[in-house]
Amino acid sequence: MSQGRRALVRGAALLGLAAVAGCTDKAGAPGRAASPSVPAAAGPGAARAMRPSTYRLRPMAGYGAPHEAPGRLPVRREPILRMDTRDKIIVLSFDDGPDPAYTPGILRTLREYDVRAMFFVCGEQAEWNKDLLREMADDGHVIGNHTWTHPLLTKMSRSAVRYEIERTCEIIDDTTGEPPAWFRAPYGAWNRNVFRVGAELGMEPLAWTVDTNDWMEPGTRSIIRAVRDGAAPGVVVLSHDAGGNRSQSVAALRTYLPELLDSGYRVAVPRRREV
């Protein structure tokens, strides 16, 4: 498990972003795209839900009318690892949820400090916790696609990969009124099929720069230290709000988030420019 999550290529170059997002059957067209930008963050939210599904994984927006005519995306060869900025801007992301045991605490802390984050959700979790999905969207957080069951996509056929990703697109769109613009592969495991299917469905592949390793339950202090040590302009931080006991992740956020803000960082979510 931990080997798969560390399989991410760290030297990936940021190629830029393209057009408006959405789950669509249009194939992504190879080509160059605009550079990524990062806007300001902020947001209100709390949560409740039914129950989490029987989950066994470790690792791995806006609420309104759906987008019209999604733009065609290039098929990338590597995931985006960070935002293209020299400003003190940092992106917080949470994978594997939503989970009624931990997601509400994360949403409360984000609301308290009026910031936005990214939540890469798994479809089987979202199916049981649609109210949490709506709260994420209501608070202005970006909801990304993290597949339906959190499988190792690189070992699957293209049709199976598409089913996992597209089904999750549908539940996000049906629940929040907006399709996801971002996709993150479970375990950080990418290949040509994964990139192609994500592009065909209108999503950009986003990985991470700083792994808190919170899925290993290393202790709250260890998670805080990982964020402190890794903080830098454009960094994307990976944490989890489901897939195990995430109480340390919830507690750590209450410490490192105000520290980041006090040190001059702006917590933001990425925005994709139109070409």
70 band by pLDDT with thresholds 50, 70 and 90: low
Q: Would the pLDDT of 18 be above 80?
A: no
What pLDDT is stored for residue 32 in this prediction? 32
What pLDDT is stored for residue 29 in this prediction? 33
Give the Cα separation of 259 and 255 in Å (integer): 7
What pLDDT is stored for residue 72 in this prediction? 75
41 closest CA partner among 235, 261, 246: 261
Contact 273, 35 (CB under 8 A): yes
Give the Cα separation of 275 and 273 in Å (integer): 6
Q: To the nearest whole number, what is the mean pLDDT of the chain?
A: 81
- According to DSSP, the residues that pair with 266 across neighbouring strands are 89
> Within 10 Å of residue 273's Cβ, how many Cβ atoms?
14
Task: Read off the pTM.
Answer: 0.77
Contact 118, 91 (CB under 8 A): yes
Catalytic residue among 146, 150, 240, 241: 240
Give the Cα separation of 256 and 266 in Å (integer): 13
103 closest CA partner among 87, 116, 119, 114: 119
What pLDDT is stored for residue 271 in this prediction? 81
Alpha helices in the chain (DSSP H): 2-5, 103-112, 123-128, 130-138, 158-176, 192-200, 220-230, 247-262
Q: Would the pLDDT of 239 be above 80?
A: yes
224 closest CA partner among 197, 260, 186: 260
Give the Cα separation of 98 and 135 in Å (integer): 10
What pLDDT is stored for residue 178 in this prediction? 96
Q: Would the pLDDT of 8 be above 70?
A: no
For 2-267, the fitting CATH number among 3.30.1490.20, 3.40.50.450, 3.40.50.1400, 3.20.20.370 is 3.20.20.370
State whether residue 31 is helix, strand or coil: coil
Between 240 and 71, whose confidence is greater? 240
> Tens digits of per-residue pLDDT, 149-196?
999 999 999 999 999 999 999 999 999 999 999 999 999 999 999 999
User: Among this protein's residues, is 95 annotated catalytic?
Assistant: yes
Give the Cα separation of 173 and 178 in Å (integer): 5
What pLDDT is stored for residue 254 in this prediction? 98
Beta strand spans in the chain (E) = 89-95, 118-121, 142-145, 182-183, 204-205, 210-211, 236-240, 266-267
Give the Cα separation of 106 and 240 in Å (integer): 10
Q: Which residue's entry shows tokens 């999550």?
A: 5
User: Among this protein's residues, is 141 annotated catalytic?
Assistant: no
Catalytic residue among 95, 99, 139, 214: 95
Q: Would the pLDDT of 121 be above 90?
A: yes
Amino acid of residue 94: F
